[in-house]
Chain A
Amino acid sequence: MIPPKFAYRRAGSAEEAVSLLAEYGDEAKILAGGHSLLPLMKLRLAQPEFLIDIGRVHELSYIRGEADHIAVGALTRYHDLEHSELLAAELPLLAHASGKVGDPQVRHRGTIGGSIAHGESASDVPAVVLALDGTLVVSGPSGVREIPSSEFFLGPFETVLEPDELLTEIRLPRPASPGWSFQKLTSRAIDWAIVAVAVQGSSVGLVNMGSTPLRATATERALADGASITDAAARAAEGTSPFADRNASPEYRKHLARVLVRRGLEEAAGRAG
């Protein structure tokens, strides 16, 4: 399959990418690793007139420890997240989950920012960023704004990003509680998660349990009220509306959410010691 025709533009800097976006508006899409966008283009589910390639904007690829958070450049690849010593020490949940995305070839190309901006609810890392209370930094023609991850995702492939805005950085506060877990169930090894669960302390992110990545708010509230892990996990699917597809019915996804959240909370509690 060959993608539909488009005009390719390469941005040399984040600033240039923003000005190209301003010029082309919603006729343009940002191309990072391309592992979400190019497959959609082959299927004609996306037909942008312009692709703005930020693959050479090395200034957007970094993992830095700041005073009160870890800053991750939007163009940082899964492979780099997976093998980062800083993340292994400070945010092992993100390093581990990144190593579970796709396969080595995909992780050599796919980026954290691309995954988040794409807004696919079956994607692993957006729910991890949500569970970690991340903040998303975006640049547009009128400057920079910071968006809490809880307000970023609107629906399937839909986020609050404006057509002329570029996601540049993901800020992740250092977790207050060290226990973490990532639980993912797939049909075949390479598949997207049927359901996955990201746990950091008593924060719980859900993958593929609705049209956006979600927090298991009923579980989190129950834990805050002193419920046991078993009782809190039993509420993991409350308020969710998962899809049916060839892998699972909504009922089965809800069952998986309850089971995986219980396993995740238990593993996180074990790691916290």
Chain B
Amino acid sequence: MNVTITVNGEKTSHEVEDRTLLVHHLRDVVGLTATNVGCDTSTCGACTVLVNGESVKSCTVLAAQVDGDEVQTLEGLAGENGELDPMQSAFREHHALQCGFCTPGMVMAATSLLRENPHPTEEEVRAALKGNLCRCTGYHNIVQAIMSAAESAEGAR
């Protein structure tokens, strides 16, 4: 079937097998490989992307299900000249990554959180990261980074 998805602001249209998962579509067809396949069982969150602005686990969504929708991946966050967006900068500033495998999913989950709740408490940040596992167990700095991104967005306002 044909699926047309706006990925990071650009319209993409491809013929895919009906059973194609969104994460494979993004990585293998569209060619955006920041989104990782981790557990493949909608547990670990490494494959988190935004569909119409909301976080989803792209290993458990068919490409066909988001036909006509807008998808944002980690590649879509940085500006045109490569300048990092505030969440990416905060992750860098706070050393919120060790091996980096979970990072694209963490950043997208955090981006979705701040869109829904611009001023989360630390407890709310931790609850919102329930579906994102960091096997380096670097949660402390990840939480700090997200709190800091929320504060800097407030400062910029």
Contact with B along A1-35 (1 / 0, CB 8 A): 11111111010000000000000000000010011
A8 in complex: contacting residue of B54, B56, B64, CB < 8 Å = B64
Contact with A along B74-108 (1 / 0, CB 8 A): 00000000000000000000000000000000000
**Contact: B42 with A106, CB < 8 Å?**
yes
User: A1-B40, A103-B131, A104-B130 are known contacts. Are A109 and B61 too (CB-CB below 8 A)?
Assistant: yes
CB distance from B70 to the nearest CB of A (A): 14
Q: How far is the CA of A103 from the CA of B1 in the complex (A)?
A: 31
**Contact: A39 with B45, CB < 8 Å?**
no
Contact with B along A80-106 (1 / 0, CB 8 A): 000000000000000000000011111
**Contact: A34 with B131, CB < 8 Å?**
no
**Contact: A42 with B65, CB < 8 Å?**
no
CB distance from A98 to the nearest CB of B (A): 14
Q: Is B32 an interface residue (CB 8 A)?
A: no
**Contact: B21 with A2, CB < 8 Å?**
yes
Contact with A along B53-76 (1 / 0, CB 8 A): 011110011101101000000000
Q: How far is the CA of A96 from the CA of B41 in the complex (A)?
A: 25
Q: Is B109 an interface residue (CB 8 A)?
A: yes
How many interface residues does chain B have, given as a range?
20 to 34
Q: Which residues on A sit within 8 Å (CB–CB) of B60? A: 34-35, 38-39, 109
Q: Which residues on B sit within 8 Å (CB–CB) of A3? A: 19, 21
Nearest A residue to B24, CB-CB: A2
**Contact: A104 with B65, CB < 8 Å?**
no
Q: Is A158 an interface residue (CB 8 A)?
A: no
Task: Please report which residues of chain B, range 1-47, place their CB below 8 angstroms from some CB of chain A when the two chains form the complex.
Answer: 1, 17-19, 21, 24, 40-43, 45
Q: How far is the CA of A79 from the CA of B56 in the complex (A)?
A: 12
**Contact: A42 with B40, CB < 8 Å?**
yes
**Contact: A190 with B65, CB < 8 Å?**
no
Q: Is A55 an interface residue (CB 8 A)?
A: yes
Q: Is A189 an interface residue (CB 8 A)?
A: yes
Q: How far is the CA of A5 from the CA of B109 in the complex (A)?
A: 30
Q: How far is the CA of A52 from the CA of B60 in the complex (A)?
A: 16
Q: Which residues on B sit within 8 Å (CB–CB) of A8? A: 1, 18-19, 62, 64
B131 in complex: contacting residue of A10, A39, A79, A102, CB < 8 Å = A102
Q: Which residues on B sit within 8 Å (CB–CB) of A79? A: 54
**Contact: B131 with A55, CB < 8 Å?**
no
Pick the most buried of B41, B48, B61: most chain A CB atoms within 10 A of its CB. Answer: B61
User: A7-B18, A8-B1 are known contacts. Are A104 and B109 too (CB-CB below 8 A)?
Assistant: yes
Q: How far is the CA of A10 from the CA of B65 in the complex (A)?
A: 9
Q: Which residues on A sit within 8 Å (CB–CB) of B41? A: 39, 42
Q: Which residues on B sit within 8 Å (CB–CB) of A1? A: 40
A108 in complex: contacting residue of B19, B56, B64, CB < 8 Å = B56
Q: How far is the CA of A35 from the CA of B18 in the complex (A)?
A: 17
Q: How far is the CA of A200 from the CA of B128 in the complex (A)?
A: 27
Q: How far is the CA of A108 from the CA of B131 in the complex (A)?
A: 12
**Contact: B1 with A105, CB < 8 Å?**
no
Q: Which residues on A sit within 8 Å (CB–CB) of B48? A: 105
**Contact: B65 with A103, CB < 8 Å?**
no
Nearest B residue to A37, CB-CB: B60
**Contact: B62 with A104, CB < 8 Å?**
no
**Contact: A104 with B131, CB < 8 Å?**
yes
CB distance from A196 to the nearest CB of B (A): 16
Q: How far is the CA of A55 from the CA of B22 in the complex (A)?
A: 15
Q: How far is the CA of A108 from the CA of B57 in the complex (A)?
A: 9
Instruction: List 10 contacting pairs A-B, 8 Å CB cutoff, sorted by A.
Output: A5-B17, A6-B18, A35-B60, A42-B41, A51-B18, A79-B54, A102-B42, A105-B57, A108-B112, A189-B130
